[in-house]
Structures are given as C-alpha cells and as structure tokens.
Structure 1
Amino acid sequence: MSEDYLSLKWGSLKSLRMRTQAVEEAFRCYDETGTHHGSAILHKDSSEQKSALCDLIDAVAAAGGQIQDEWTWKFMTADEAKHYVLGDKARAQSLAGEVIARNVMRSLLKKGSEEDE
C-alpha cells in the first residue's frame, strides 16, 4: 500500500496526498482542466474535469493508494470511485449541498440583519 491517498465528496475531489510521480502528473492534468472552487460543496466539475478526475483515481489506485468517500468514510475501489464521480449519487449530493449552502447563507444574512437593528 502506498502513501498516496484521495478522498471524494460532493462527487468531486476533496483531498489528495501525492507521493508518486504518476499521481502528481495525473493531478497536474486534472488541475489544468479548468477552474476549481475552493469549496467542494460549490464546485461542479465539467465533463473534462470528471474525465481527468477518473484518470487521477486510476493513478492513485495503480500506485496502491486508498480512495475514500468522505460522506461514508468507506474506502472504494477505483471503479466504485469513478462510478461515484460520474453517477447519480454525486449529483444528488451536489443538489443537497446546494440546498445546505443556500440555507446557511440565508441564516447568516438573517442574523446579520438582526444584529444591525
């Protein structure tokens, strides 16, 4: 087992620890595919980013690294991880995340307006 590690949340990359050249190269390709929001809850990968993320998942798996679902804390195979990134579960979590983000923002705005009174 290598020290490479990748975790996914909201159907996208949450965190990554790179120790091998192949994983670093795959991450560079993913990083170059487009912009990345600092918050996984608000980030939506393009189809090119999803493809590059699947390549990154393969690189981590080939290096013997672990891949983890941050929602369940369960470890996944590369195929499970790619299905998660490309599948309905990620979209459902993304939609749930958008609702959570809106509710948090509304709450903060309401609290701020109450403090101004």
Structure 2
Amino acid sequence: MYQQSNNFSASDYFDSSNNFSVSELVLKHNQLKALKSLLALLVQEVNLLEQTQAAAGKQIEREKPICLLTELQRFESHMIRCALIRSMGRQTKAAKLLGLKTSTLNNKIKRYKIDLTDVKDVL
C-alpha cells in the first residue's frame, strides 16, 4: 500500500539551480500535499473496486443475492472516508461535502466504526 510522508524540507522542492520564494515553496508544498491526497483516494478506489469485483465474482459463483443494505452501508462508509480525506480530517467540512449535519456524520462514523486515525494517516 502507498505510504505517505509529511516530512518536507526545502531540498525536496528545488536544487541549487532553482530559486523559489517562500510563497512559491508553500504553493508547491500544498500542491504536492493535494496530489498525495488525490493519489491516496485513487489507490483506495482501486482497492475498493478490486474488492467489489472479487466479491461480485464469489457471489455470482454461489448464486447468492446481493444484500442491498450491506452494499449501501459499505458505499456510505467509503464515501464518508473519502470526504474525511478530502477535508483533511475536518469533520465539519466533511459533513458539508456530504450534505449532512455534523452530528449525523459523527453518528455514522461511530456506527461504521471509522477509525479517524486511519484517515489522518492518509494525509
């Protein structure tokens, strides 16, 4: 799985031939952070698609019906995790992204046992 590091230094952004201002360095740092968050979301989406594909294959083989409630809960949990990652762990902002009240989001985080430290590790 992709591991992210939040340890940055000026040497990560330029070599001796490039001279960047502090504001340019901050911008580049923020761009890099945004790209890493996007990469994490893409990796997570690929993993979910692979799991869904594998689960679908097993279900077809067994000819068992798909449980709509279970699939909806899994999807909702995934969307909450994505919103938390996009909002950099800020629950109020994540709730707005999802169109939920913050209290509703908190209830769903508890119901689905979403570990907020896992979300923050992605950032």
Q: TM-score, normalised by structure 1?
A: 0.36
| Larger relative contact order (CA 8 Å, sep ≥ 6) | 1
The structure with the largest strand share of the pair is: 1
The structure with the largest helix share of the pair is: 2
Greater Rg by CA: 2
